[in-house]
Structure formats: structure tokens, C-alpha cells
Amino acid sequence: MNAFPEKIRIFDTTLRDGEQTPGVSLTPENKLRIAKSLDKLGVDVIEAGFAAVSKGEMEAVKLIANEGLKAEVCCFVRGVKKDIDIALKCDAQSVHLVIPTSDIHLQYKLKKTREDVLKLAEESVQYAKDHGLIVELSAEDATRTEFNFIKEFFAKGISVGADRICPCDTVGVLTPEKSYKFFSDLRKAFKDIIISAHCHDDFGMGVANSIASLRAGANQVHATINGLGERAGNAALEEIAVALKLIYGVELPIKTELLYHTSTLVARLTGVPVQPNKAIVGENAFTHEAGIHTHAILSHPSTYEPISPELVGVTRRIVAGKHSGSHGIKSSLEKMGLHPTGEQLKEVSMRVKNLGDKGKKVTDADLMAVAEAVMGLPQARPIKLEELTVVTGDRVTSTASVRLKLNNKVVSEAATGVGPVDAAINAVRKAVLVVEPIHLVQYHVKAITGGTDAMVEVIVHLRKGDRTATAMGVREDIVMASIEAVISGMNVLMTDYNKRGDKPAEKS
Ligand code: KIV
Ligand code: ZN
């Protein structure tokens, strides 16, 4: 076979394999939030968790299974009756029944023989089927298992009713070539059943291997949002979906325009940030600084954008820095309503480059301030902080109250949050909401000196409608650094020189 199957199913395992990312642990409520988002995205199966592992996991699987989602809700189980009983108690529609098959796993982990494993597969699949479950039978470490034994194992499971089979590339040792051969041979042996690819990314080939497997005969793919998962992670759902669509012309039932939103939600709730240069959903994936690039992008986006940002729900960003050209800076300033003369633009570009040469990251708030200085415009900002109080403690939710001047009127608001920074930002957003809804897209914090009195640098990325702005706050106090950054970014988004009607000064 040398073509993609007509229908490719997506089995999302963010909430199971993804949650096995070291340090990640999700509450049932947060798992439900992610599950709803995955359902909207259009995945076919949501592996909600491993219910037998804890009370919280049971609760999560049950919550998700009873949410009335369109996607099939699946529970991870071992070849153990107790696990299957728990999955049933949680109302899961299906089980992902996993049994190791490689000699190394049988000898050192399971301490069982191949015969034992075949019996286990037969008995546990039979038990799950007898109880009305859909069964996806996985062979763990299948790609390091003797191929004839893999066939024997799956044949045994299918003989008692397994609905789908999945040979796991547990330690990511496949290559695209090996995947192609492996799945072609497996498809020859099992003509009509759904075959899944489950590829790990230990060598950075998880997505390529998944795609090769689909071309060779797999018709379902396991994936996680942001490529989360054990060790180096699993194949990233967003990368598979967009590569299939744009490179191979294969449509999936995935609403790609929700990918960025889903990725951000998963990053926020798992606490695992997306690396900036990550394909599809990384902060830099649609951000341009270099002059030659921004000039070309502004005249024809496809010169440097193989994927249009709208396809994945992102807004393109042109940022200022030492590589910037005047076209990019002009375009950013025009979005703020600033129209410098040719001379002024040259001066702004030069000052931005100087800042870059000094190693400074130039945010949109910096760019606006530089342009104002060069153009002789007074810095009149719509938001001015008057007072901020934050109360936080050991067991309580943090509370913040804020008083600020908004377009010269005093506004006071209070809000709660999971911590003092969250509460303070929520209070400011609530106060500003009377005029504009402004969303916090990204929040980064780093300590730039050591010790408990370290200087803290906070960089935020905000969005208002289709405009975005970055801003920075640097203080010893993390709450104040955060609020400084947020208010400064909000001020960029709310200062519209087109509306203010200020005229640029004649001379720089
Ligand atoms: O990678 C793997 O082998 C797995 C199984 C436990 C399903 O995630
Ligand atoms: Zn896995």
C-alpha cells in the first residue's frame, strides 16, 4: 500500500501518556477542561486517564465519560481484571488495554513468558468484550518485539473480539523507513481492523514515523497536544494534523483553527511551557524580526510562511529588534496609529538596533515609547495605576484590589486568583474590561539576579481583537513586575494615535 487511508482517526492521549510527562499532574476539573477542548478540536478518541492508578484519576475518567462529548472516551488498563472493572465503574466507552510484548519487557518487567502474555491478552480482551467495552489492544514495546510474536499476539486478541490493535513504538526507535515496512507488513497480516500508530519522540522522529505508518497501513494515530509525553514525548497532534493537510493534502476531521488555543490551554494547565521555536504552536512560529523577511512577508506572506497563521488560530507578529528593517517597524507603528516621516522612521530604526545591540529585547511598549520620543509626541497613557493591594496566604485563594485611572476616570475592582500574580492581573483585567476585553496570551517570568531579592523580569503578550502587544516589567517584586508589564502592554493596545489625532512633529 502506498497511499493514506480514506479516513484517519485521531486517538488523543494528552490526558494519559501526556500526563505521564515528568512533573505533570492534572486535577479532574482541569482534565475535563482539556477533554472539552479536545472534543471541540474534533479528535475521535480521548484517552482520559488510567483510572486504576488513583481516586483522582477515577474521578477524572468518570467526569469526562459522563460529559456527553462527541469523542469516544477511553480508559487505559493493563491486562488485569481489576483495571477493567474500574474502567467500567467510570463509565468509559472503551479501554486501551496494554500488555508488554518485547523479550526485554517480559524478562525484566513482567517476569512472564510469551505463552503467559498470549493467555493474558486472550483472557483480558475476552473479559472486556464480555462487559460491553470497545477494546483497543496495544503491544507495549512492539517495535522491539520479534515480528512473528507481534502477529501471534494480535491474532489472539482479535480472535476474542479486539476492535483495534496498536503496536507501540514505546522507546521511539522506529525511523520513517522502518515504520513503513513494519506497518505494511502488519496491514498485510490484518486486513480489516483499525491499526494505530503510537510513536514516541526519543530521536525526534515521532511525527515523521507516525506519518510513514499512516501511509503504510495504519488508519489511526495516537498523539498528544504539544507533543507531551514520557521522556521526549509523543508525536505532536498539531504537527501531524497540519503536515498531513498542507504537505500531503490529507484532510483530518480536526478544526485546525483551534490548535493554538488548545495548545495554550494544555501548556497552562500542565505547567509545561511550549518551547518558543516549536513547530505550529511555538511563540516564534509566526513571529518575524529580520528585515529581509518582514519586508517580503508584508508584500506576500507565503514568501516566509509555509503555513498561514489563521489556519492554526494564531496572529502573525512582527517584532522589533536589531535585525529589524524599516518596513517591519513602519508596519508595527502603523498598527499603533503612528505614522512617522521617513527621517523619523530612520531614527526609530536606529534606536531599536542600538537597543538590540545592547542585548535588550525590544517589546511593543518599548517601540511605542521610542517612536513617541522621536516624533515628539507626549506619552499620554490611558491606564495609570494608583493603588494595588494583594492578600495571600497558605490555604486561601489570593485576593487583589486595584484602583487605577482609566481615561482619567478612577476605577476600582477586586478579583481572586490562584496566587498573588494571578489575582492582581485578574483585578486589572476586570477594571479595564469596562472599556476593552484584553486577553493575556503569554506570561513569562525569569529572575535576572540571584537571591530572594532578585530582580524579576516579566514579559507578557496581550491580545485585543486582532491586535497583539508585548511588554516587559522589571522589579524586585514579582507582582509589581507583572502588573507593570500588563499595564504597559494594555496601554499599547489602548493608545490609538489614529483616534487621538496627535500629529507627528515636523522634525525628529
Ligand atoms: O508508549 C507506550 O508503550 C505506551 C503504552 C503503555 C500504551 O504508552
Ligand atoms: Zn506511549
pLDDT tens for each residue of 464-500: 888 889 999 999 999 999 999 999 999 999 987 877 5
Domain boundary pick from 340, 375, 410: 375
505 lies in some domain: no
39 lies in some domain: yes
Look at ligand 1, atom 1, and give the residue with the nearest C-alpha. 170
Determine the Cα–Cα distance for residues 427 and 8; give it in Å rounded to an integer. 45
Indicate if the alpha-carbon torsion angle 338, 341, 342, 345 is positive or negative: negative
Residues 156 and 214 in one domain: yes
Residues 157 and 241 in one domain: yes
Ligand 1 site: residues with CB under 6 angstroms?
17, 98, 138, 140, 168, 170, 198, 200
- On whether the pTM is more than 0.85, the answer is yes
Ligand 1, pocket-test mutation among 168, 173, 213, 230, most atoms within 8 A of CB: 168
| Atom from ligand 1 closest to the CA of residue 98 | 7
277 lies in some domain: no
Task: Give residue 210 CA to ligand 1 midpoint distance, Å.
Answer: 14
**Which ligand gives the minimal distance to the CA of 170?**
1
- At 395, the pLDDT band (50, 70, 90 cuts) reads low
Share of the chain above pLDDT 90, in %: 84
Domain span at 366: 289-375
Residues 231 and 113 in one domain: yes
How many other CB atoms are found less than 10 A from the CB of residue 418? Answer: 10
Average pLDDT over residues 372-391: 93
Residues 173 and 266 in one domain: yes
Q: Which residues fall within 8 angstroms of residue 504, CB to CB, at 6 or more apart?
A: 338, 339, 340, 341, 344, 375, 376, 377
Looking at residue 505, its pLDDT comes to: 43
Q: Which ranges of 300-448 does DSSP label H, i.e. alpha helix?
A: 326-335, 342-357, 364-375, 420-432
283 lies in some domain: no
The CATH code of the domain that includes 89 is: 3.20.20.70
Report residue 287: phi and psi, to 5°. Answer: -115, 135
Looking at residue 501, its pLDDT comes to: 52
Determine the Cα–Cα distance for residues 32 and 63; give it in Å rounded to an integer. 7
pLDDT at residue 434 greater than cutoff 80: no
DSSP-derived pairing of the beta strands 398-406 and 164-169: unpaired
Residues 249 and 301 in one domain: no
99 lies in some domain: yes
pLDDT at residue 415 greater than cutoff 50: yes
Look at ligand 1, atom 5, and give the residue with the nearest C-alpha. 140
Place of cell 500500500: 1
Residues 387 and 305 in one domain: no
Task: Give residue 4 CA to ligand 2 midpoint distance, Å.
Answer: 23
Q: What is the residue type of 406? A: L
Residues 175 and 300 in one domain: no
| Atom from ligand 1 closest to the CA of residue 76 | 7
Looking at residue 508, its pLDDT comes to: 34
Residues 251 and 398 in one domain: no
Determine the Cα–Cα distance for residues 227 and 232; give it in Å rounded to an integer. 8
| Atom from ligand 1 closest to the CA of residue 168 | 3
Q: Which long-range contacts (CB under 8 A, 24 or more apart) does 244-252 make?
A: 244/4, 244/8, 244/211, 244/214, 246/306, 246/307, 246/311, 248/4, 248/211, 250/4, 250/8, 252/8, 252/10, 252/42
Ligand 1, pocket-test mutation among 16, 47, 170, 173, most atoms within 8 A of CB: 170
Looking at residue 436, its pLDDT comes to: 77
Q: Model confidence over 282-319: pLDDT tens digits? A: 999 999 988 888 889 989 999 999 999 999 999 898 88
Looking at residue 287, its pLDDT comes to: 92
Task: Give residue 210 CA to ligand 2 midpoint distance, Å.
Answer: 13
Q: 449 versus 260: which is more confidently predicted? A: 260
pLDDT at residue 503 greater than cutoff 70: no
Q: Considering the chain, what is the average pLDDT of its residues?
A: 94
Residues 95 and 161 in one domain: yes
Inter-axis angle of helices 114-130 and 81-89, to 10 degrees? 30
Ligand 1, pocket-test mutation among 13, 98, 143, 150, most atoms within 8 A of CB: 98
pLDDT at residue 136 greater than cutoff 90: yes
Q: Which of 74-88, 350-364, 410-424 has the highest mean pLDDT?
A: 74-88
- Between 8-12, 144-148, 349-353, 441-445, the lowest mean confidence (pLDDT) is in 441-445
- Report CA-CA distances (Å) from 13 to 43, 48, 234, 237: 10, 7, 9, 10
- Between 312-321, 364-373, 445-454, the lowest mean confidence (pLDDT) is in 445-454
Ligand 1, pocket-test mutation among 16, 97, 200, most atoms within 8 A of CB: 200
Task: Give residue 235 CA to ligand 2 midpoint distance, Å.
Answer: 9
Domain boundary pick from 242, 270, 298: 270
- At 260, the pLDDT band (50, 70, 90 cuts) reads very high
Q: Which ranges of 42-113 does DSSP label H, i.e. alpha helix?
A: 55-65, 81-89, 103-105
Place of cell 474534533: 42
- Report CA-CA distances (Å) from 66 to 164, 384, 386: 23, 47, 47
| Atom from ligand 1 closest to the CA of residue 229 | 8
Residues 332 and 463 in one domain: no
Task: Give residue 265 CA to ligand 1 midpoint distance, Å.
Answer: 24
Looking at residue 449, its pLDDT comes to: 75
Average pLDDT over residues 30-54: 98
Task: Give residue 259 CA to ligand 1 midpoint distance, Å.
Answer: 24
| Atom from ligand 1 closest to the CA of residue 140 | 3
Looking at residue 506, its pLDDT comes to: 41
Q: Model confidence over 204-235: pLDDT tens digits? A: 999 999 999 999 999 999 999 999 999 999 99
Domain boundary pick from 321, 352, 375: 375
Looking at residue 453, its pLDDT comes to: 76
**Which ligand gives the minimal distance to the CA of 95?**
1
- Which candidate, 131, 34, 39, places its Cα nearest to that of 83? 131
278 lies in some domain: no
Beta bridge partners of 25: none
- At 446, the pLDDT band (50, 70, 90 cuts) reads confident
**Which ligand gives the minimal distance to the CA of 196?**
1
Average pLDDT over residues 31-49: 98
Residues 266 and 366 in one domain: no
Task: Give residue 168 CA to ligand 2 midpoint distance, Å.
Answer: 7
pLDDT at residue 394 greater than cutoff 90: no
Looking at residue 500, its pLDDT comes to: 59
**Which ligand gives the minimal distance to the CA of 229?**
2
Task: Give residue 232 CA to ligand 2 midpoint distance, Å.
Answer: 11
pLDDT at residue 1 greater than cutoff 50: no
The CATH code of the domain that includes 453 is: 3.30.160.270
Task: Give residue 154 CA to ligand 2 midpoint distance, Å.
Answer: 18
Look at ligand 1, atom 8, and give the residue with the nearest C-alpha. 17
pLDDT at residue 368 greater than cutoff 70: yes
Looking at residue 442, its pLDDT comes to: 86
Looking at residue 2, its pLDDT comes to: 53
Residues 371 and 396 in one domain: no
- Between 220-234, 236-250, 350-364, 438-452, the lowest mean confidence (pLDDT) is in 438-452
Task: Give residue 459 CA to ligand 1 midpoint distance, Å.
Answer: 37
280 lies in some domain: no
Ligand 1, pocket-test mutation among 138, 173, 174, 202, most atoms within 8 A of CB: 138
Task: Give residue 12 CA to ligand 2 midpoint distance, Å.
Answer: 11
| Atom from ligand 1 closest to the CA of residue 234 | 1
Average pLDDT over residues 147-172: 98
Q: 500 versus 45: which is more confidently predicted? A: 45
The tally of domains found in the chain comes to 3
507 lies in some domain: no
